[in-house]
A and B are shown apart, each in its own frame.
Chain A
């Protein structure tokens, strides 16, 4: 198949360099080497993290070492090329989707201008088609007859250290948000190509610490933060004290309680970092209001699964822990909090990795009797599905005026929107808990939502500039509704969003705050026996001394 458009897509149409700066390269994309400099790459994995992970069963993270992307020599293992080519061969054999994605792209360019990294940088290698081409060119060279015979003429190229460096640069300038896939006529999941690139890079010891340290922590203590069971419980108890001060409601949640009906799992950031804390207070209030028989787990104390951003074996292992804990505690089903990628793993991979979870029951709300058939196989229900059902069945009451400080807009988090189709439930909840909320422009919401720009373990501070430019398309749409409708709150259902959109708004729209949906639910929820403090001008995030 002839390579028709990639060169054209990638070449600047500029007629001459800027007079003032001389910028504006016009070379062919394959001839433009990547340049690593502070701010455009995330720090590499600490050797001790990798050595620890490599010592664990079921996963492989070899070639731990100290290395710096800015150095010429990356200290790759001697047989690095063999490792990469064999690794690619293995994956082509194992994953039929990868083989199809390598072959079926016709370079139509439909995805080219849909990636937030491309839109924020103007770098052609951030066009999904070209990012995939970074791998596809090696595939052609090594695994297709045309490539073997004709090399570059057939769109192939030699696997060199320059290619490895290019992979490292662009596999970590993709948040696997899958917006491009929505527009691909062939449904190529470019996120899975990024996943393969990252796996291959890990095989030669090239990864980023912000992904691997949370993975190591999660593997060891059950959550990204590395919180011990005592610390995890302590944080939740602390939130309960805050709730009592604010609302007069006394809550005593249970932990690791065998025989509870439901296991509740949420990202650990919800029990630890602002503004997730307020979302967590929302969960606690809701469960108290309806008298839910549930337990927290200090072992499955993390909904997030950075394994998704790392390797399929790691993803499988971290996902399995949630189900192992559900089995150990003997619960009937799992209720999941406001996480993004946890839901992609559960909806798209869990069933074939660790499922079906036959030892659990098809989730049935103990309050309304609603059976969640959509979760019949995974046995895991999203908090928004659960809450929307409670509202629909009239089991909870709200006082919207308690959210009168909020003029909200809704950010569809990539994974819940595109990977599980959670589009209507959050909107239904918003309708019931706030007086005022508005939609962002049509091509920036629902399936076409723009990523926060910092997903897939890119939410680290050393690449702040990269995150801000990648988040521009999202922030730009928020600015529109902030200017037009005086929106002051960006609501979402993802822990990474809550953290990273806060930072993104600080840069682009400082008057807009970020919250989880359950925070707004908790603010407005009317509970028997409550004694809300007066002047809760900011709901659950009001500081009370």
Chain B
């Protein structure tokens, strides 16, 4: 059986394991896996949609540009969660492991394990693109911080307004006991 054909045949199983493993990186992942409502469960739904589309694009040998949209869907979320950069990007690379697990468990597909080099390379490329997106997202976070400062909202604190003068001599304000 040809590799791409096998990957298509096992699509459901591979995607299911891949998405589940990705969502397992959250402490309490039951709801993320279970709910299919994309508005009630944005993390689960976006990650499922993103990885599914990415998988199909990988199988279709799509251009890397096309992969940016589904990768963005996944990475924009993970870039603001409590993951290290490695943890944020790791799920993309895990696809390689998932495919090998699924193929190993099927006698008919086992011979294809030696033919995965090219597919693995494509996954690696997607993971590298994912890291680019991760970095863009992090930069956007810092831009957000700067633009809040520039917009003047920071004056809620640390303001140099006239009332700052009141701070002087505050040591002398008697405390209520």
Contact = CB atoms under 8 A, between A and B. Distances in A.
A9 interface: yes
A54 B176 contact: yes
Give the residue among B33, B90, B156 with the most A Cβ atoms within 10 A. B156
A236 B157 CA distance: 21
Contact of B27 (A124, A217, A272, A476): A124
A18 B43 contact: no
Contacts of B68: none
Name the interface size band of chain A.
35 or more
Contact of A443 (B40, B158, B170): B40
Interface residues of B, number: 64
Contact of B162 (A11, A231, A477): A231
A473 interface: yes
Contacts of A441: 39
A495 to B, nearest CB: 10
B77 to A, nearest CB: 7
Nearest to A475: B42
Main secondary structure of the interface of A (DSSP, over half): helix
B175 A54 contact: yes
B40 A23 contact: no
A220 B26 CA distance: 44
Given A48-B167, A503-B147, A20 B27 contact: no
B21 interface: yes
Interface in A397-426: none
A465 to B, nearest CB: 5
A9 B26 CA distance: 13
Contact of A122 (B29, B90, B152, B161): B29
Contacts of B30: 9, 12-13
A226 B161 contact: yes
B8 interface: no
A464 B145 contact: yes
Given A14-B29, A24-B25, A443-B40, A273 B153 contact: yes
Contacts of A459: 153
A311 to B, nearest CB: 15
A378 B106 CA distance: 71
A227 interface: yes
A508 B26 CA distance: 21
B87 A21 contact: yes
Given A13-B29, A220-B166, A121 B41 contact: no
Contacts of B167: 48
Given A20-B90, A21-B90, A472-B43, A231 B28 contact: no
A119 B43 contact: yes
Given A120-B43, A464-B141, A225 B29 contact: no
B81 A507 contact: no
Contacts of B86: 20-21
Nearest to A57: B176
Contact of A23 (B25, B39, B141): B25
26 contacts: A11-B28, A12-B29, A20-B97, A21-B87, A23-B87, A48-B170, A54-B176, A55-B173, A113-B40, A122-B81, A123-B27, A217-B156, A220-B166, A221-B163, A225-B155, A226-B164, A227-B161, A273-B152, A444-B39, A459-B153, A469-B77, A473-B39, A480-B39, A506-B140, A507-B144, A508-B76
Given A473-B39, A507-B137, 17 more contacts: A12-B29, A13-B29, A19-B94, A20-B94, A60-B176, A113-B31, A118-B28, A120-B43, A122-B43, A214-B157, A221-B163, A225-B156, A226-B161, A461-B144, A465-B81, A476-B46, A499-B148
| In the complex, the 4 A-B pairs of residues with the closest C-beta atoms, listed nearest first | A122-B26, A20-B90, A124-B28, A476-B42
